[in-house]
């Protein structure tokens, strides 16, 4: 039940952010553009293209350009994101679908190329998710994925750490944990892990950006009470301790890229 509530919260948060997302999503656009370079030119003859966790459809339009003659499925758990995408993208071959990545409504062996940028970190059960990837992919089909690692937003996490016991920042899984969740018939062909540090003049720029992309804390154990002024003050002064010599406040992101191929 708590799993269900978390997913409802994820969907709700991203839905509400749909109209502000694109303007605030510079990191997400950069990561997705790098990931696009990993999609295959020679993919199995049969099967659709899937943009999993498509959000506003920013990369769906690029996938249409790369695979103009293939059917494209744009799937997201947030209805608001899909509505926004349908209104703003003109993609005649696209089918928009509101569904959960961990229980995809597709036939076995029906997807030739799966693309998923910065979405799977919101999923609850990686083993289940990758089992779904292996089920829906055609033999020889591939999945290119980007996701976030535990160092992401470490400054934010540490700044809250000695303020209270609540979980304020999402928990992201380690690369090894991600790899350990892969089923035997999903082979890792390529991987990359990189660290990116974004810089801000003021802490409010970072917190507004997170709100505008819908990436609020959605882990169970999040603080449900009011955040008092004193606690926020302490959090802010803790974050100030990270201020760099160039006068900027940093926000670290650990980004993973994976290319997986279904074997058999
Ligand atoms: C950070 S956005 C990324 C959107 C897009 N891929 C991009 O790079 O701009 C994450 C997206 O994943 C979706 N998402 C989160 N959990 C999901 C799930 N379990 N199944 C499908 N989509 C999910 C969210 O609703 C959101 O639109």
Q: For the segment 107-135, what is each residue's pLDDT rounded down to a tens digit?
A: 999 999 999 999 999 998 999 999 999 99
Q: How far is the CA of 100 from the centre of ligand 1 (A)?
A: 10
Q: How far is the CA of 51 from the centre of ligand 1 (A)?
A: 10
The H or E element that residue 204 is part of is helix 203-213
Pocket test for ligand 1, best of 28, 76, 132 (most atoms within 8 A of CB): 76
Is the pLDDT at 64 greater than 50? The verdict is yes
Say which residues have a Cβ less than 8 Å from residue 80's Cβ, sequence separation at least 6: 14, 15, 16, 17, 18
Using 50, 70 and 90 to split pLDDT, how confident is the model at 1?
Answer: very low
Residue nearest to atom 14 of ligand 1 (CA): 53
Reported as a single tens digit per residue, the pLDDT across 17-56 is 999 999 999 999 999 999 999 998 789 999 999 999 999 9
Look at residue 251 and give its three-state secondary structure: strand
Q: How far is the CA of 117 from the centre of ligand 1 (A)?
A: 8
Closest ligand 1 atom, CA of 32? 8
Is the pLDDT at 82 greater than 80? The verdict is yes
Pocket test for ligand 1, best of 119, 143, 170 (most atoms within 8 A of CB): 119
Q: How far is the CA of 108 from the centre of ligand 1 (A)?
A: 22
Using 50, 70 and 90 to split pLDDT, how confident is the model at 166?
Answer: confident
Residue nearest to atom 25 of ligand 1 (CA): 78
Averaged pLDDT, 4-19? 88
Predicted pLDDT at 196 = 97
Cα(217)–Cα(236) distance, rounded to whole angstroms?
Answer: 17
Closest ligand 1 atom, CA of 116? 6
| CATH code for the part of the protein at 2-262 | 3.40.50.150
DSSP percent split of the chain into helix, strand, coil, nearest 5: 40, 25, 35
The first and second tokens of residue 205, run together, are: 């720029």
Show the ligand 1 pocket: residues with CB < 6 angstroms: 10-11, 14, 25, 28, 32, 53-55, 58-59, 75-78, 81, 100-102, 117-119, 122-123, 213
Q: How far is the CA of 185 from the centre of ligand 1 (A)?
A: 25
Closest ligand 1 atom, CA of 21? 9
Q: How far is CA 113 from CA 3, 60, 214, 259, 261, in A?
A: 28, 12, 27, 11, 9
């Amino acid at each position: 039940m708590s799993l269900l509530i978390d997913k409802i919260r994820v969907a709700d948060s991203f839905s509400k952010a749909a109209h502000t997302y694109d303007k605030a999503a510079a990191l997400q656009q950069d990561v997705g553009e790098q990931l696009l370079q990993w999609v295959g030119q020679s993919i199995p003859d049969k099967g659709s293209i899937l943009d999993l966790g498509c959000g506003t459809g920013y990369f769906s339009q690029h996938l249409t350009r790369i695979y103009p003659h293939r059917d494209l499925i744009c799937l997201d758990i947030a209805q608001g994101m899909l509505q926004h995408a349908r209104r703003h993208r003109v993609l005649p071959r696209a089918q928009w679908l509101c569904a959960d990545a961990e229980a995809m409504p597709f036939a076995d062996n029906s997807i030739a190329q799966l693309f998923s940028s910065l979405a799977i970190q919101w999923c609850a059960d990686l083993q289940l998710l990758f089992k779904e990837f292996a089920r829906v992919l055609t033999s020889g089909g591939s999945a290119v994925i980007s996701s976030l690692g535990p160092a992401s937003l470490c400054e934010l996490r540490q700044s809250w750490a000695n303020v209270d016991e609540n979980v304020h920042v999402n928990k992201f899984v380690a690369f090894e944990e991600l790899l350990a969740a892969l089923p035997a018939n999903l082979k890792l062909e390529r991987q990359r892990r990189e660290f990116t540090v974004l810089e801000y003049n003021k802490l409010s720029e970072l917190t507004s950006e997170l709100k505008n992309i819908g990436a609020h804390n959605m882990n169970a154990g999040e603080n449900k009470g009011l955040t008092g002024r004193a606690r926020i003050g302490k959090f802010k002064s803790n974050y100030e301790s990270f201020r760099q010599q160039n006068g900027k406040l940093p926000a670290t992101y650990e980004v993973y890229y994976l290319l997986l191929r279904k074997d058999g």
